[in-house]
Amino acid sequence: MAARGRERDYACIMTDAVEHNVADKGGGEGKIAAVVVLIVVVLAMVFLAKALIGGKQGNGIVHLNAKPEVQALTDPEQYSFMQIPAFALVDQDGNAVTNDILQGHYTVMEFGFSNCQLVCPIMKSNLLPAASALKSAPVRFLTFSVDPMHDTPEQLRAYADQLGIDTAQWSLLTGEPGAVRDVAQAMGFVPPAPDGKSTNLIDLGGGQTMENIVHPSRFIVLDPEGRVVGMYGGLNAAESEQMVRDLKAVMRK
């Protein structure tokens, strides 16, 4: 019904345009112009009717020639440009971790580092409730550290304990310099790097500081075959909540 209403509104607008055009014309020229414009109106209405039939409606908007809606987290083709390369890292307990960890279950991955004071605390405040909500589900969480210089396994273990992360569900990964950067770059993200801003220096204590590291702030969802099937804003609580709903929905299939 809403689509028909919009079609009528569109037709009324076009009819008004015809009447204004005719009113501005005189004699034979006016009649010829009216016929031409009426033909255009008829063709436009026919096109619109076909588009409405072939399109879809959502949120009060008609999407012309739109594809049928696909359930969230089920279309890896949408993210086919994001490829996760082979990697060899270690977790917070020093255990070797490879791409095998991505197989057989859904995975939520993020980038960050333990000394991060800008975006990471916000991301963790959104991801921790998500992990809790999915605790009994076959979903694995992974944090890829962009600061291997400071994020040793021991440092990541202390960080996990500080945040109350259940490492049976959530692994924090580190490795050789450049290893995580290569993963981010292969996925299409700008490679993590220091931001170069003296105002963002991080105090490490004992008179030591480090530069803030700019890194992706998205939560990336992988399917049980290790393919990217979704991304959510890590700085937005509503998006992380939607991620939980989408994961629960897709796992009910």
Query: What does the pLDDT read at residue 7?
Result: 38
User: Percentage of the chain with pLDDT > 90?
Assistant: 71
Tens digit of each residue's pLDDT (9 = 90 or more) over 189-198: 999 999 999 9
d(CA 183, CA 86): 8
More confident residue, 12 or 152: 152
DSSP-derived secondary structure for 97-156:
EEGGGGSSSEEEEEEE-TT--SSHHHHHHHHHHHHHHTTTSSEEEEEEES-TTT--HHHH
**pLDDT over 80 (residue 5):** no
**pLDDT over 70 (residue 33):** no
**pLDDT over 50 (residue 22):** no
- Please check whether residue 172 is in contact with residue 165, taking contact to mean a CB–CB distance below 8 angstroms: yes
Query: What does the pLDDT read at residue 43?
Result: 54
User: Of 184, 172, 251, 253, which is closest to residue 215 (Cα–Cα)?
Assistant: 184
**pLDDT over 70 (residue 241):** yes
pLDDT level of residue 45 (50, 70, 90 thresholds): low
Q: How many residues does the chain have?
A: 253
Task: Name residues whose C-beta falls within 8 Å of residue 218's C-beta, 6 or more positions apart in sequence.
Answer: 110, 231, 232, 233, 234
d(CA 152, CA 157): 9
Tokens representing 9?
A: 């509104």
d(CA 186, CA 84): 6
pTM more than 0.75: no
Tokens representing 125?
A: 């405040």
User: Percentage of the chain with pLDDT > 70?
Assistant: 72
- Please check whether residue 212 is in contact with residue 117, taking contact to mean a CB–CB distance below 8 angstroms: yes
**pLDDT over 50 (residue 19):** no
Tens digit of each residue's pLDDT (9 = 90 or more) over 170-189: 999 999 999 999 999 999 99
User: Of 215, 189, 183, which is closest to residue 115 (Cα–Cα)?
Assistant: 215
Query: What does the pLDDT read at residue 70?
Result: 62
| First-to-last C-alpha distance (Å) of the chain | 31
Kind of pairing between the strands at 139-145 and 170-173: parallel
Query: What does the pLDDT read at residue 71?
Result: 81
Domain spanning 76-251 has what CATH number?
3.40.30.10
Place of tokens 């079609």: 7
Element (H, E) at 204: strand 202-205
Tens digit of each residue's pLDDT (9 = 90 or more) over 49-97: 444 444 443 333 333 344 455 689 999 999 999 999 999 999 999 999 9
**pLDDT over 90 (residue 221):** yes
Residue type, 38: L
How far, in Å, are 32, 211, 242 from residue 155 at the CA level?
82, 18, 31
pLDDT level of residue 46 (50, 70, 90 thresholds): very low
**pLDDT over 90 (residue 18):** no
d(CA 195, CA 197): 6
Tens digit of each residue's pLDDT (9 = 90 or more) over 122-165: 999 999 999 999 999 999 999 999 999 999 999 999 999 999 99
More confident residue, 63 or 108: 108
pLDDT level of residue 253 (50, 70, 90 thresholds): confident
Average per-residue pLDDT in the chain? 82
d(CA 180, CA 192): 9
Residue type, 177: P
